[in-house]
Structure 1
Amino acid sequence: MRKRKIIITCEHGGNYIPREFRYLFIKHEKELNSHRGWDIGALEVAKYMSRHIPAPLSYQRVSRLLVESNRSLHNEELFSQYSRELEKPIRKYILSKYYHPYRHAIEKNINRCIAEGQLVLHLSVHSFTPVLNGVERQVDIGLLCDESRWSEMEFCQMWKRQIEQLLPQKLVMVNVPYNGADDGFTTYLRNQFPADKYLGIEIEINQKYVGQEEMSIVRSALSNSLIISEDLVEE
């Protein structure tokens, strides 16, 4: 069986706002620094996994409140309440400067790997707020996939079992707290590449562990369990 080529991305790795657009957020620093502005802690995990697997990492440091790199062009969430009222030429400039280069580079890399005969396992690392709309989320780690792609579902179930062995006290679920088939970068890429050449898995980590010692345990378990899962695939 061919060995998978693992690539790691982090679409919400930072909350950076380019100087020319900072005026939009003068009175909105709180939102920019909150979970609305970026996936807090996600880039830390992505960098750790990239070093320890190892696997190449691509990340977006521009805040999703300027442009949402994990949404398709048709999605109404592509621009936030702070940027959607900008004139069309300016929004087009933002896309050409920050959105398209990020996504195109990753897609090009996947194309290259597939052309070399590799099966690509794309891990898109995210984090989520522990409380949303007053409701506490119980899940600790979510593995998101498209359930209609049996290869993704099979891999997530196998990886879930390995994570649970290393983190028996943590709740690990598939397609929680979000549905992996909803609009996102992995969903877009599934439409570009067949299931026998591309697997797109989103990792969602509860932000309650950010800044805690447990975060280092979680990121280590994610890396080690993935290596074990890959070894099992090879057997």
Structure 2
Amino acid sequence: MSLLITCDTGGWKTPTRLRSHLDDTELSSSDQMVAGEIGIDRLVRQGIDREANFATRRLAYCSGGIAICNEYRADLIDVGRSLHHRDLFSPAVRELPAATRSAIIEEIYSPYRTRVERQLLDMLRTWSYVVHLSVRTFNAKTRDGRWRRGDIGLLYDPSREDEVDWCMDLVEELYHTAPDLKVRRNHPWRGTNDSLTKALRGQFLPDVYLGIEVVLNRSWVARSVACRDETLSLIGDAIGELTGDLIERAA
């Protein structure tokens, strides 16, 4: 199946080479910013997004897609951002020496981006196009405390017709299989914002690459209950059915 599902922000490991750089800093513990720790609100993403990691693997399993998850800590660097983006590093990392920041890019950022690009190229040797879904979660509340509406956001480039059609088809599929889910398009932010999918659109033509961010509301995906797992399975099944149908039509 020409389906790749990635997770930029779900890792929690620290590369061996970086451990000495982080000694005696607030970043020395890999568990410091993991959601679920006592005193941390699960509804607010704190840097390391384990829920997105879990969701990515579940969606890939149910849809039959290939999963690639960044195994290293998102509180060190957000590998989904471009190198010039203001949120590439967390505030704590921005205070570290330039040599340390360069080492983080070399150890975490560059290998992950290269791995995703190589996987896409490898898949395109077999398939005429690839659907790439990049999974994240978003905070259940806005900064001013209002609850966000919507359970799932599908973020895409409106100028790419195939991405628009794919998202519309998924919305329709979920309407029939999971009618209680509120699916919104280009919410809670735009699909043309800085992201890995946006960067890859610049490398692959629109007729061979569909890059879509699937963002999940932490109001439900951060709760470790059977209903969450069942919902992710329904979404994964819908993605698998849709991608399979597209392949048959293209054949």
Q: Normalising to structure 2: TM-score of the pair? A: 0.85
Aligned partners of 2:83, 2:197: CA distance in 1, in Å?
14
Question: What is the CA distance between 1:129 and its match in structure 2?
Answer: 1.5
Partner of 2:26: 24
Question: What is the CA distance between 1:118 and its match in structure 2?
Answer: 2.9
RMSD of the alignment, in Å?
2.0
Question: What is the CA distance between 1:162 and its match in structure 2?
Answer: 0.6
Question: What is the CA distance between 1:8 and its match in structure 2?
Answer: 1.1
What per-residue deviation string (whole Å, max 9, x for no partner) do you get for residues 174-229 of structure 1? 11112111000000000000000100111111112221322112211111111221
For 1:33-52, what aligned pairs fall within 5 Å after superposition?
Answer: 33=35, 35-52=45-62
Aligned partners of 2:80, 2:243: CA distance in 1, in Å?
26
Task: Tell me if structure 2 keeps the 8 A contact 1:32–1:65.
Answer: no
Aligned partners of 2:159, 2:108: CA distance in 1, in Å?
31
Question: What is the CA distance between 1:26 and its match in structure 2?
Answer: 6.0
| Partner secondary structure for residue 45 of structure 1 | helix
Partner of 1:195: 206
| Partner secondary structure for residue 130 of structure 1 | coil
| Partner secondary structure for residue 25 of structure 1 | coil
- Bigger Cα displacement from structure 2, 183-192 vs 200-209: 200-209
For 2:233, which of 203, 208, 220 is the aligned residue?
Answer: 220
- Equivalenced residue count is 232
Residue type of the alignment partner of 2:180: Q
Question: What is the CA distance between 1:31 and its match in structure 2?
Answer: 4.5
Aligned partners of 1:146, 1:105: CA distance in 2, in Å?
23
Question: What is the CA distance between 1:80 and its match in structure 2?
Answer: 1.2
Aligned partners of 2:108, 2:123: CA distance in 1, in Å?
24
Q: Normalising to structure 1: TM-score of the pair? A: 0.91
Partner of 1:128: 138
Aligned partners of 2:52, 2:74: CA distance in 1, in Å?
14
Aligned partners of 2:233, 2:115: CA distance in 1, in Å?
28
| 4+ long deviations beyond 4 Å | 26-32
Residue type of the alignment partner of 2:214: I
Residues 1:112 and 2:122 are matched in the alignment? yes
Aligned partners of 1:98, 1:28: CA distance in 2, in Å?
14
Residues 1:14 and 2:11 are matched in the alignment? yes
- Bigger Cα displacement from structure 2, 29-38 vs 8-17: 29-38
Question: What is the CA distance between 1:232 and its match in structure 2?
Answer: 3.4
Structure 1 portions without partners, runs of 5+: none
Partner of 1:76: 86
